[in-house]
Amino acid sequence: MLNNTKSIISFLIKNYIDEVSIAVDMTCGNGIDSKIILDNFNVKKLYCFDIQKEAIDNTKELLKSYFNYELILDNHKNFDKYVKENIDFVIYNLGYLPKGDKNITTNYLDVKDSLVKVLKKLNKKAVIFITFYPGHFFGKIESIEILKFLENLNQKEYIVLKFYFENQKNNPPFFVMVQKI
């Protein structure tokens, strides 16, 4: 069933996206999205970012049987210090670390800084997924600010698609897919 953001993103990963050589998980958290990337794409390299050591440790544990990835304890707005190649796939799962400190969340200024830079480094057909959690106050502000930015991307250069559950109550999570044309 395509009944939540994760199931639709997984569906698109399996059925829509072909070749991914360089991938970036901008918010690796517990490593679940990173594992999905490594399980579904034959990547040359996956870069995983998080600002919390706990998240990096959790991801390391989940990915211990894989080799083609790098864990980076730094803000995603600095991703270009580490990722020198052009990029085919990027994922952001915003908000706080599940089962972690709810006071440490993503913020739209850093997300925007990283987006401005990453958009210039995408190969043709590269995809970015961004999952938003507007059910909490800062998540709502973050979604408004990032959507404002994405709405203004040139339609000749990027597809910007929003996936939203219209009939779910209480500001459900939603995601945006950005694709470089």
Using CB under 6 A as the criterion, which residues of the chain lie in contact with ligand SAM when the complex forms?
27-33, 49-52, 55, 75-76, 93, 95-97, 104-106, 110
Q: Which of 9, 4, 2 is nearest to 129 (CA)?
A: 9
Helices and strands per DSSP (H, E), number in the chain: 5, 7
Sign, CA torsion 134/137/138/140: positive
Give the residue with the Cβ less far from ligand SAM, 58 or 126.
58
At 48, list the tokens: 């995983």
Determine the residue type at 163.
F
63 vs 97, beta carbon nearer ligand SAM: 97
**Min CB(84)–ligand SAM separation in Å:** 19
Whichever of 53 and 124 has its CB closer to ligand SAM, that residue is 53
Closest distance between ligand SAM and the C-beta of residue 29, in Å? 3
For the bound state, the minimum distance from the C-beta of residue 57 to ligand SAM, rounded and expressed in Å, comes to 11
Which of 172, 34, 51 is closest to 100 using CA atoms?
51
